[in-house]
Amino acid sequence: METIGIALRQAPAASPGSRLFRILRAQNPFYLLSALCMLAGCWLLAGSVTGAEHAARLARVWTLSGLLNLYELLLVGLGVFLIRRGFERDGRMLLLLEMAFLADATNLHAEGWALGLGTGLAMSSAALALGATKAFIVVRGLGLRPSARALAAFAAAMIALLGAPGLLALMNRTGMTMELPIHGVWWLLSAAALAVFLLLRGQGAGQPALARLLGRALAGALLGSLLVHTVAASWVHAAGFRLSHLAPLMAALAVIALRMEPGRLFGQRGLKALRAGLAGAALLFGAAFPEALAADLPGLDGVTFSPLRGVLLALAAACLWDFLARRGWLRAAAAGLFFLAACAGHSVASDLETWLWLAGKVLPRTAGQWGAAALAAAFVLLAVGAARSLGRGKVPGGRER
């Protein structure tokens, strides 16, 4: 039997040009390149008038703001159109890119506040109105139904992002040292992050995947931009960065971890370690504050605000809230301990001084006083033991847990 050999011709190797063409056809990176060009153009043109006359800078900023908002409306409109036509991947990319511009990635709003309070207020008000318009186009165009809590979360983050530069500009005009106002903006950032977490918690149930993605992206973009602006404020105002600025953010993250449930990311032990670590970091950063971040509260003689005292009060409120929601006397004891520490003093030294003074007043000194204290402790411990026994409950069959 004869065998017939068939020569197989090897397929020609794809040229770099054809591979590039296939990548461009599959991925369509032109939207990302377009957004990067818009960002670069805004940064370069806004920076090109630095040091120029006020009128030239004002005209340039308003012109860039108008062009940017026109570009954003095109992004939103084209994104909604593509998704409705079935091109969800490209439309989703356009809407995600819009999140970055909505979060002031160009820094034009901060530039507006630098040009004057009136200009900053006008630009921020226009940004809020146009942001609401763009959100309305997306919601109506895609048939989404965001809850009132989700809308409140996004509005709070947007107002904090646009208002923080205005607050700093207003304080800077008074001639005061900017370290304390910048620390106040860190508290604003922490409150915004906590508010967004609490308002958005559980709001994704029943929503389509696209709505959940856009909501998370918008919240992350707004809070991330606020974080970047807050960090940069220390250098913009030549105030220097302090580790104590991180104390309120660590406290907010500790509260968020306190309200989280064990899941795939953190188990029961991991979540407990995360809560303790964040609370410890908040206390450590708060305790290392410079004197510039301590201020006497107006109308309250002798009461001084400090990062440490603010963190202690925040942790006390969080533990009390957790106790009211889940019970557990350990949470109540922690809330009381944090509150008493906040009342004792605004720094570690003043706290220790107060506790040592109380110990000298309260601790027994004579044998009779120690005997009375022992009798009182006997009754207290008996009551605690009874509460512990009754709190165990029983399993079916009448046995203890």
Instruction: Report residue 172 as tokens.
Output: 């800077």
Q: What angle do CA 132, 133, 135 make, to 5 degrees?
A: 65
Instruction: Give the separation between CA 92 and CA 212, rounded to whole angstroms.
Output: 12
Cβ proximity of 150 and 200 under 8 Å: yes
pLDDT band at 76 (very low <50, low <70, confident <90, very high): very high
Instruction: Report residue 213 as tokens.
Output: 């993605």
pLDDT for residue 79: 94
Instruction: Give the separation between CA 146 and CA 223, rounded to whole angstroms.
Output: 19
pLDDT single digits (tens) 326-345 = 777 788 888 889 998 888 88
Q: Could you tell me which of 387, 326, 323, 274 has the C-alpha nearest to residue 337?
A: 323
Instruction: Give the separation between CA 396 and CA 320, rounded to whole angstroms.
Output: 33
pLDDT band at 210 (very low <50, low <70, confident <90, very high): confident
What is the full DSSP assignment across 224-265?
HHHHHHHHHHHHHTT----GGGHHHHHHHHHHHHHH----SS
**48 DSSP assignment:** T
Instruction: Report residue 124 as tokens.
Output: 């921020």
Any idea where the domains of the chain sit in the sequence?
Answer: 262-362
pLDDT single digits (tens) 99-143 = 999 998 888 888 888 888 888 899 999 999 999 999 999 999 998
pLDDT single digits (tens) 291-327 = 888 888 776 667 888 999 999 999 999 888 888 887 7
Helices 88-102, 117-142: axis angle to 10 degrees equals 160
Instruction: Give the separation between CA 97 and CA 78, rounded to whole angstroms.
Output: 12
Q: Which residues pair with 296 in a beta bridge?
A: 304
pLDDT for residue 4: 53
Q: Is 301 helix (H, G, I), strand (E, B) or coil?
A: coil
In the chain, % of residues over pLDDT 90: 36
Asked whether residue 346 carries a pLDDT value surpassing 90, the answer given is: no
Average pLDDT, the chain: 84
Asked whether residue 11 carries a pLDDT value surpassing 60, the answer given is: no
pLDDT single digits (tens) 21-50 = 555 556 688 999 999 999 999 888 877 665
Amino acid at 60: R
